[in-house]
Chain A
């Protein structure tokens, strides 16, 4: 297949918006275009017109599209030192009556499971309420099953060891037929909802929002909008965690936050 041109790219986004009511216009172009190209190849649609036609006429294609356009989390305990820092911070929040956490736009769940493991380790799993949202039902099904390729667990195990310095990630999953089955009791206080976080409606208020390496797939316009949504969804004193290479210093909404840790990019809402 030839690379998508700008006109084709815009046309696909317009079709997705009118058919699925999700606007991807302000996604970062390079990665989104690449995902579209992969979807065309994987589903043998030939070219941009083939994809547009498929979206318009095949109602069952919606869930495939929304699943395949999502970008998976890379690995569990990515950036091990971040998780150590989070453990320290959450330990200080232990005496709260309630603690609500939002994971928007989750696609494959590695970050979620890392977080739940951390909560279990500090005996907070029973006290928190976690909300996981995604625009894809298939993503939600995948995360609920908690089954990962055993090959991917090598890096997860290595990261876990770097984070915990001792201990073994295998305490939280079992192996069978080249698959890793996560301990699903980790999910006991986690709710799932099909939801488009970047549309602009507010879903609830939270004490922590975990949104690492997700806004890198947005352009600046959508990043600014999403930062406002996140700011308005956090309680005063709430935490906001982003990827280590994400930076929003030029956005006015960031002035409502204190940087708790610049290296790990953990913010606290102070106004």
Chain B
């Protein structure tokens, strides 16, 4: 039985190609949605602006690219900034990092998921949507291993299936859902 107070954070990973799915999800989250929502999406390293503006147009909740050591607050959507890894530290704050790319990616979904699963353990929901490489698979496994809830977008729905199928191969995921089902699932947490 899903009780909304169980979860302290949600983290979603995908690549730039998942933009439509992500905006659809953000557009459907109600104002009352209070669980911090982290987005780690592969994006062009050298393009600093534009992406967050595009997500903000559709989102009801504020979308923020956090600064280093920014406090995590309820009711915000957080997007990993271009060319930085985004970590969740103990104590509900972000840290950014310029360590080497992982899976050719900075931000790396795996690294964000590792840190969030370490900080939130079984109070975390991890979601992997459409993407073009295997980044995120080990991260989602980490969410599962720490007792969190794992969700993968149904690969049948994805134009590029690499990321979702790799995630499903890495661990026994709890839910495989279509975009609409992901939205219904999240709205129940509001």
Contacts and interface: CB of A to CB of B under 8 A. Distances in A.
Chain B associates with chain A: yes
A31 interface: yes
Interface residues of A, number: 29
Interface string B28-65: 00000000000000000110100000000000000001
Main secondary structure on chain B at its contact with chain A? loop
Nearest to B69: A220
A247 B68 CA distance: 7
Interface string B65-81: 11111100000000001
B167 interface: no
Nearest to A34: B99
A79 B49 CA distance: 12
B113 interface: no
A78 B87 CA distance: 21
Q: Name the residue among A29, A30, A213, A216 with the largest chain B CB count within 10 angstroms.
A: A30
Given A74-B98, A78-B83, A216-B95, A246 B68 contact: yes
B90 interface: yes
Nearest to B67: A247
A30 B89 contact: yes
A245 B68 contact: yes
Interface string B152-167: 0000000000000000
Contacts, number: 66
Contact of B84 (A29, A155, A245): A245
Given A159-B46, A162-B46, A74 B83 contact: yes
Interface string A146-179: 0000000001001100100000000000000000
A223 B46 contact: no
Nearest to A29: B89
Interface residues of B, number: 26
A79 B67 CA distance: 16
A244 B65 CA distance: 11
Given A28-B89, A220-B69, A245-B67, A80 B46 contact: yes
Contacts of B111: 34
A71 B97 CA distance: 9
A72 interface: yes
Contacts of B95: 28, 30-31, 216
Contacts of B45: 155
B115 A213 contact: no
Contacts of B46: 80, 158-159, 162
A215 B68 contact: yes
A259 to B, nearest CB: 14
Contact of B68 (A78, A162, A216): A216
A217 interface: yes
Closest 3 CB pairs of A and B: A30-B87, A247-B67, A216-B68
Interface of A: 3, 28-31, 34, 71-74, 78-80, 155, 158-159, 162, 213, 215-217, 219-220, 223, 243-247
14 contacts: A29-B89, A30-B88, A30-B97, A31-B97, A31-B99, A79-B48, A155-B45, A159-B46, A215-B68, A216-B68, A216-B95, A216-B98, A244-B48, A245-B96
